[in-house]
């Protein structure tokens, strides 16, 4: 392992270990007593001004707020390759928290301690996970940017403060135990380390392979096939402009799915539809590229091939939209009424 990879690996192991340590001791009497003592002490010391301020802070990690920021970043960073990773990060962090809460099913602190109303399970804290994953990824982007060092420091400090305040607000408002927040932040950092590594591979991936690199890898058939597949996915993500639109729609569906509380079967249907749309768009990109290479532009067959591939994408997208309407309209209609 390269020397520069050791800090990331150690950080991942440490954060994953902290999460597992807490998760395996959720029913421990000492941990519960400690959590209740912290929650009770903060509830006893609340002031109206601090409650109002921290309620506003916690809203920075509300699903709607994160979606608006995500869509804004997709527009602002449309000339870079960070748009799709930002949308994917939001979706994966939501799914990960949903999955973990469904596993542990820990109840929130007693209502007597709560300053605001909150539904759902408590462990791990969704706001802490979202803060660590979403705003943490913005820290990664800033750190890797070409901004001046003083600007980087200022932005990283600001984003770190936002994460810390959001985490504190969840315990202060009495909607999470301290262990929920610590575990949520720990697992989000572990996830972020892995996700940032994958994004690094995505950003460094070359669109075309040289003959020399092909010769080096030809003996590893299965690994070579996997590497070619990843190169193709990365190239399609980078070079197909519609991908940003698809991932923005996927982020929108993910946030609304979380807000509407869709079932596991409905989540599975959404994920399958996501895969079909993205896969068909990648196929469309492959067809268009092949036609551009092999056929002259004035050949009518080139237009037929491209239009047919684009039509396939349109049909799958329409089917996904209809399925989405079937899932979401019955849940959204009462809210609109």
- Tens of pLDDT, residues 123-164: 899 899 999 999 999 999 888 888 888 888 999 999 999 999
Q: Is the dihedral of CA 285, 286, 287, 293 positive or negative?
A: positive
Residue 323 and residue 269 in contact, taking contact as beta carbons nearer than 8 Å: yes
Mean pLDDT of the chain: 80
Q: What's the CA gap between 66 and 68, in Å, rounded?
A: 5
- Whether 240 sits among the annotated catalytic residues: the reply is no
CATH 3.50.50.60 fits 205-337, yes or no: no
Q: Which of 206, 209, 281, 288 is catalytic?
A: 281
CATH 1.10.287.3610 residue ranges in the chain?
205-337
- pLDDT reading at 166 higher than 90: yes
User: Which of 81-85, 121-125, 226-230, 332-336 has the lowest average pLDDT?
Assistant: 226-230
Q: Indicate whether this model's pTM tops 0.85.
A: no
- Give, to the nearest 10 degrees, the angle between helix 149-172 and helix 48-58: 120
Distances (CA, A) of 329 to 124, 276, 284, 306, 319: 29, 22, 30, 34, 15
pLDDT at 222 over 60: no
pLDDT of 210: 46
Q: Decide: 74 and 244 in contact? Cβ < 8 Å.
A: yes
DSSP three-state, residue 309: helix
Closest CA to 244 of 117, 97, 81, 103: 81
Calpha distance 187→69 (Å, rounded): 22
Using CA atoms, how far apart are residues 159 and 168, in angstroms rounded to an integer?
14
Phi, psi of 26 (to 5 degrees): -60, -30
């Amino acid at each position: 392992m390269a020397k520069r990879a050791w800090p990331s690996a150690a950080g991942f192991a440490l954060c994953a270990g902290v999460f597992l340590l807490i998760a395996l001791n959720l029913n421990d009497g000492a941990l519960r007593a400690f959590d209740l003592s912290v929650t009770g002490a903060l509830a006893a010391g609340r002031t109206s001004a601090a409650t109002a301020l921290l309620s506003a802070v916690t809203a920075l990690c509300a699903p709607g707020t994160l979606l608006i920021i995500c869509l804004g970043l997709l527009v602002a960073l449309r000339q870079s390759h960070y748009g799709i990773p930002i949308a994917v990060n939001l979706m994966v962090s939501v799914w990960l928290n949903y999955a973990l809460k469904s596993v542990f099913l820990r109840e929130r602190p007693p209502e007597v301690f709560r300053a605001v109303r909150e539904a759902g399970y408590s462990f791990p804290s969704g706001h802490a996970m979202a803060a660590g994953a979403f705003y943490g990824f913005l820290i990664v982007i800033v750190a890797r940017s070409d901004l001046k060092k003083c600007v980087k420091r200022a932005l990283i400090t600001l984003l770190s403060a936002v994460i810390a305040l959001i985490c504190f607000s969840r315990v202060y408002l009495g909607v999470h135990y301290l262990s929920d927040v610590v575990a949520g932040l720990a697992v989000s950092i572990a996830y972020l380390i892995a996700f940032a590594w994958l994004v690094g591979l995505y950003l460094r991936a070359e669109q075309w392979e040289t003959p020399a690199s092909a010769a080096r890898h030809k003996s590893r058939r299965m690994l070579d096939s996997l590497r070619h597949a990843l190169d193709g996915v990365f190239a399609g993500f980078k070079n197909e402009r519609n991908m940003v639109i698809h991932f923005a729609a996927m982020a929108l569906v993910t946030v609304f799915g979380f807000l509407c509380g869709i079932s596991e079967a409905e989540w599975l249907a959404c994920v399958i539809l996501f895969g079909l749309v993205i896969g068909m768009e990648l196929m469309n990109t492959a067809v268009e590229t092949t036609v551009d290479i092999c056929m002259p532009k004035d050949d009518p067959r080139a237009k037929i091939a491209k239009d047919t591939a684009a039509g396939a994408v349109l049909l799958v997208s329409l089917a996904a939209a209809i399925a989405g309407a079937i899932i979401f309209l019955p849940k959204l209609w009462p809210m609109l009424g």
